[in-house]
Copies of this chain bind each other. A is one copy, B any other.
Amino acid sequence: MRAQAETRDAVWERRTELPLFYASLVFLAGYAVRVLANDAHSLWRDVASVVVLVTWFCFIVDFLVRLVLSGLRPRRFIRLHWLDALVVLLPTLRPLRMVKVHDAIEAKHHDRPRRSLYPRVITYAGLSSVLLGFSGSLGMYHVEHTDPHSPIHTFWDAVWCVCQTLTTVGYGDVAPVTARGRLIAVGLMTFGLGLLGAVTGSFSSWLIQVFRREGEEEGPSGGGSSPGAPR
């Protein structure tokens, strides 16, 4: 029943979801090797470059196929799927889509009831932060470590800088100095704000919810927190 009602682009999306999920992992691994293996044998770097280009090509093809199948004008399609369009231009952001897929996989395979709302939002925003931070660190290391004035010498310096940026702490002991590095940092700040809002807002709401429930459930005898005790 459901399959008949499904439009062609829905079928395409359902079938390509998992392969593209693995392709995005391969892309990320390839990009990481390409960026980090600057002292390694040049063969590895060439292989990584090819892998990056091939997977990127896959994403572009996927985007174009979905554009055609949707039957919409390009401008309207991009308006509706702006995150996908952004991902085609900057495939290191692909991980953001990954999280969605991960959520779908979990729902499909385990067949258990969904976790409650706030932990899911926190997981989503947290995973997005980790993947975005990893991509951002790779990019920042890539553009910064060749600049003699940059304090970013190793990949871990870039990770440290990205952590400061995403949490808006900003010590400033390790900060980008090149134009492209600063552009990446501004992008991370902007996303960091949103993720920060999502994480802190959800955590706060969730904590208040937990406290409220405890207050309601607890009788005057001050019963403990043992989950196994019958109530």
Contact = CB atoms under 8 A, between A and B. Distances in A.
Interface of A: 2, 5-7, 9-10, 13-14, 17, 70, 80, 100, 104, 107-108, 111, 114, 117-118, 120-121, 124-125, 156, 160, 163-165, 167-173, 175, 177, 179, 182, 185-186, 189-190, 192-194, 196-205, 207-208, 211-212, 215, 218, 220-230
Contact of A6 (B120, B173, B202, B229): B229
18 contacts: A7-B228, A10-B224, A10-B228, A14-B226, A70-B228, A80-B227, A104-B225, A120-B211, A121-B207, A124-B211, A163-B186, A167-B190, A168-B168, A168-B170, A170-B171, A172-B172, A172-B173, A198-B204
Contacts of A189: 163-164, 167, 169
A226 B10 contact: yes
B10 A229 contact: yes
A42 to B, nearest CB: 29
A230 B5 contact: yes
Given A193-B196, A207-B125, A208-B121, A171 B167 contact: no
Nearest to A100: B225
State how many copies of this chain the complex holds. 4
Main secondary structure on A side of the interface with B: helix
B163 A224 contact: no
A82 to B, nearest CB: 11
Contact of A201 (B5, B9, B204, B227): B204
A168 B171 contact: no
